Structure 1
Amino acid sequence: MIFDLLVQRIGGAASHVRTKIMLLKEKIAYIMRMTSSLNEGGTAVFRPSSSGLVFLRGTVMKTYLVKQKFRFGGEKFDIKDDRGNIDYQVEGSFLKIPKTFTIYDDKGEVVSQIQKTVLTVLPQFEIQLRNGSSFYIRKKFTFLRDKYEFDNLGLRIEGNIWDLEFRLLDAQGQVIAEISKELLHLMSTYQVVVYEDAYADLVISLCVAIDYVEALESSS
């Protein structure tokens, strides 16, 4: 009720604030329900969806904290979970054109590769996943602000990609992951919450690719 009153008072002038309030509302409800489930001796997990909170069994939720190292010229850096464990490593190629960034898992196996496509009129980036699939980030021609589209991603995007305040949903409207800025860190850091472990590689690869594209655009 309190959250609904806040949203009404804010109105349409600050949509990003309203989005943050609604996400906070969902997260609080999620924590309360998960705690209730654990108190009853169960292992159920609740996660937000486009139509409310959905009951799932056996779902593993994981949180990552990612620092925006590309802005500071980072060529190699770690991606850790919220307990400080290194789950992914990002490494840039040396003396290779176009430059390629490779993401490795905690076993040293390749998760994905991010590469800028050459010989295209507008910038295009290909992200190849280890399962053999690929998705693309393409810049669209506009007279106003820069705009990008995502091809073959297989997920719906809600929110602001470039402000790192968005979430990913599957075809059924289930929230797969939520990405949000961490305001209490000195270095630019964002939080990635993945509700289904099977999507973790794709979500992390997408976030790193967005960060890379944004860093290239800001330096050009």
Structure 2
Amino acid sequence: MKLLFKQRFFSWFDSYDIYNEAGETVYTVRGQLAWGHRLKIFDCYNREVGTVQERVFTWLPKFEMYFGTQYVGCISKELSFFRPKYNIECNGWHVEGNFLEWDYTILNASGQCVATVSKELFHWTDTYVIDVWDPRDALCALMLVLAIDAEKCSRND
């Protein structure tokens, strides 16, 4: 399953549209006023399906994940040099990025590729392509990309 992740151009808070290969909106993400980033994820029927909430006052960036209102785990950035790395505690996924922080590989606990994320260049806003092998992992992969993008945004502010 391929998802196209596009940040909206004019928005007071972080807002994104996520499309499938046919160009149909699969998810909409709306940022909310909060300490740190709080990103609510809605499906194509405008039902809230998840939230990514940044934990504040942590040494390394951490983001809580919620499916609906249920806490499911935390995305944590690892201390690393040259290549960004993240862990997701709820499913054992490990993420490694390239030196330029444009491309990421998501691996499961046994080292198999779950998804890849690539940043598309030459767009006015942040745009990523998320290739997910199992469609059931799409929401979790999207949450990871939201956390990575929010962490990079916080670092550049």
TM-score, length-scaled by structure 2: 0.77
CA distance in 1, matches of 2:111, 2:36: 36
The residue aligned with 2:131 is: 193
Flag the structure with higher strand content: 2
Contact 1:124-1:139 within 8 A present in 2 as well: no
Could you list the per-position Cα deviations for residues 147-198 of structure 1 after superposition, in whole angstroms to 9, with x for gaps in the alignment?
6642415123344286231222223443221111324645442211111011
Contact 2:85-2:94 within 8 A present in 1 as well: no
Q: Superposition RMSD on alpha carbons, in Å? A: 3.2
Cα gap change, 1:171 to 1:75, in 2 (>3 Å): closer
Q: Is 1:181 matched with 2:119?
A: yes
Contact 2:84-2:101 within 8 A present in 1 as well: no
The residue aligned with 2:18 is: 79
The residue aligned with 1:13 is: none
Q: Report sequence identity in percent.
A: 27
Contact 2:52-2:147 within 8 A present in 1 as well: yes
Q: Is 1:66 matched with 2:5?
A: yes
Q: Is 1:91 matched with 2:30?
A: yes
Q: Which consecutive unaligned segments of at least 5 residues does structure 1 have?
A: 1-61
Q: Which consecutive unaligned segments of at least 5 residues does structure 2 have?
A: none
> Higher Cα Rg: structure 1 or 2?
1
Please state how far the C-alpha of 1:82 moved relative to its aligned partner. Answer: 2.2
TM-score, length-scaled by structure 1: 0.58
The residue aligned with 1:216 is: 154
Flag the structure with higher helix content: 1
